[in-house]
Amino acid sequence: MARALEWKPERSNCPQLTITIEHLIRSVPDEWRALANNLFVGRVLKGDLNAMAWTERQAGVIEMNIQYTFTLSAYAAAYDEFFHNLKSFVGDVAAKRPGLESMVHELDKRFAEPWEQLDTARSGWVDRRLLVVANPVAARWAKGRESLHEDMVDAAESFVIAHELAHHLLGHTVSRRDKRKAKDAVDEVIERLGLFYAMSQFNQSQREELQADILAYLIVAQALEGAPQFSDLYRAVAGSTLALVTHAHVTESWVELDSAATHPGFTTRFNMVHKLTEMLCSDRPTGDQGDHPMAFLSQLSTFAAVALNRWASQTFSGPQKPVGVLHAADHLLRLMNEVHGRIPQARASIRQVDV
Q: What is the average per-residue pLDDT within 142-148?
A: 75
CA distance 313 to 322: 6
User: Do residues 289 and 229 touch, judged by C-beta distance below 8 A?
Assistant: no
Highest mean pLDDT among 107-121, 169-183, 207-221, 333-347: 207-221
Question: Which tops the pLDDT comparison, 147 or 200?
Answer: 200
Average pLDDT, the chain: 90
Q: Which helix (H) or strand (E) holds 199?
A: helix 196-200
User: Considering only 142-156, 185-199, 231-245, which range has the smallest mean pLDDT?
Assistant: 142-156
CA distance 8 to 6: 6
Beta-carbon contacts of residue 1 (< 8 Å; ≥ 6 apart): none
Instruction: Specify the pairing of strand 51-56 against strand 39-44.
Output: unpaired
In one-letter notation, the amino acid at residue 49 is L
**Helix, strand, coil shares, percent, the chain, to 5:** 65, 5, 30
Q: What is the average per-residue pLDDT within 125-139?
A: 90
Confidence of residue 242 (pLDDT cuts 50, 70, 90): very high
Beta-carbon contacts of residue 139 (< 8 Å; ≥ 6 apart): none
Q: What is the average per-residue pLDDT within 195-214?
A: 96
145 three-state secondary structure = coil
Taking CB atoms within 8 Å and a gap of at least 24, the contacts of 83-87 are 83/299, 83/303, 84/142, 85/110, 85/111, 85/325, 86/302, 86/325, 86/328, 86/329, 86/332
- 75-113 as b/e, with b when 16 or more CB fall inside 10 Å? bbbbbbbbbebbeebeebeeeeeeeeeebbeebbeebbe
User: Do residues 218 and 276 touch, judged by C-beta distance below 8 A?
Assistant: yes
SS (H, E, C) 42-100: EEECCCCCCEEEEEECCEEEEEEEHHHHHHHHHHHHHHHHHHHHHHHHHHHHHCCCCCH
323 three-state secondary structure = coil
Confidence of residue 355 (pLDDT cuts 50, 70, 90): very low
Residue 345 has pLDDT above 70, yes or no: no
Quote the percentage of the chain above a pLDDT of 70: 94
Taking CB atoms within 8 Å and a gap of at least 24, the contacts of 66-70 are 66/131, 67/125, 67/131, 67/132, 68/160, 68/246, 68/247, 69/43, 69/153, 69/157, 70/131, 70/132, 70/133, 70/135
Domain range annotation of the chain: 131-354
Residue 30 has pLDDT above 70, yes or no: yes
pLDDT, one tens digit per residue, over 42-93 is: 999 999 999 999 998 778 999 999 999 999 999 999 999 999 889 888 888 8
Rounded to 5 degrees, φ, ψ at 2 are: -65, -45
Beta bridge partner(s), residue 41: 12, 62
Residue 350 has pLDDT above 60, yes or no: no
CA distance 65 to 130: 12
Cα-based distances in Å from 337 to 233, 272, 276, 332: 20, 21, 20, 9
Instruction: Specify the pairing of strand 59-65 against strand 39-44.
Output: parallel
CA distance 328 to 303: 8
Quote the percentage of the chain above a pLDDT of 90: 70
Q: How far is CA 87 from the centre of its chain?
A: 21
| Predicted pLDDT at 354 | 35
